Structure 1
Amino acid sequence: MRKVAKWQLASALLVAGCAAPSEGEKQVAETVAPPVAAGVRPAESSGKPLPVFRPGISCKLPIYQLAKLEPAPTQRLDSAFVAQLVVKAPRLKRSFGSYTHDDDIFALDTMACQSFFLVSWLHRHEGCCEELYYLTFDNEKRKLLDIKQIASGGADGDWQARSTMRLMKGGRVSAKTTAHNAISPRDVQPDGSILAYEHTDVVVKEFALNANGQINCVLKDSTRR
């Protein structure tokens, strides 16, 4: 049962992330100190404003390959900090509301842009899956502007998935996720009927960062074979 629940969660995440937020999600409260990567101090603790890019210089979304990504344990975000952040920014509850010792969120990088900053988080679930998220925060008011799941992967029993990312023209990022679900003995009933058929899902999305800190997402392709 545990395997089925994880597979259902991971399959749903394959096509999630491109839909526009609801009106409730748009009403985001102020956040606490910025969730920055290791080695970068929040503005509140340093007493200095976050660095701002010169006019005309735009940020580009970073690229990661999950298969090769091994974040340092010191980059793990404290559970109490994540819980506080979720309270201040309710839109984060869907992704991080149940963050416990069974999960790990790693702050990978922090990018300062002209009027906002972007952080990349890797969320790993115990023994199963991982997702890469990009979050943007207002440079002055520290409000959450946007959050998008960019890539995902993992394995559990007869299910496995992995995203690959590449940089496109104009600074766009393409993320291709391939997930394969095989038939296991648990899928076959005593009468011979099969609960789940072997299949492979391939989902391709493109992401772009605009000047307002919004991460635009377009679903380019979604196939099952």
Structure 2
Amino acid sequence: MSEYAIEMNNITKTFPGVVANDKVTLQVKHQEIHALLGENGAGKSTLMSILFGSYSADSGSILLDGKPVEIKNPNVATSLGIGMVHQHFKLVQNYTVTENIVLGVEPTKGRLLDMKRARERVEALSSQYALKVDPDSLVEDITVGQQQRVEILKTLYRNANIIIFDEPTAVLTPQEIDELMEILKKLRSEGKTIVLITHKLKEIKEVCD
């Protein structure tokens, strides 16, 4: 096993008139909460969008556990065990929690959807990681903090070992922020590697390695 879960070497990404990332190198160790700190517009989200396959770097390389990888799109990232919890959630409001979590990777029994098995797995993951969410609730009926937990469960359902959080506290109440900090610690204790994009020093001091 390599010392690092993630290595991004000399990553450069430009948009018309803007250099978002200029030869950025990042190393993240296994099973740590690693803060990616910077002001708005510093290029944090762009760098992590490259790791998640939403953007392609103009130059540079990525290694996961010491092995070079090409992450051409988010499906490739997912297959490599990378998940991302976006600042703006990607949920279908009139679907249930379970339906949102399995969307795109629905389990089947023969030709039929096996939602019973899916629901059981969602319940098991929710219990294992202390993510208290009713699998049968409609997303439109639950709080913002619970919707974020659904996004976290989506990554866990897809077997993510590396989870990127993009400014996760921006939409949360103070109590929900405290609960999220405990969730992050729980994920780390269960063996996950986390990158936390933020500009809030208080959160970094509380939870980051």
TM-score (norm 1): 0.27
Larger radius of gyration: 1
Which of the two has greater helix per residue?
Answer: 2
Q: Counting strand residues as a fraction of each chain, which structure ranks higher?
A: 1
Greater RCO (Cα-Cα under 8 Å, separation 6 or more) = 2
Report the TM-score, using the length of structure 2 for normalisation: 0.28
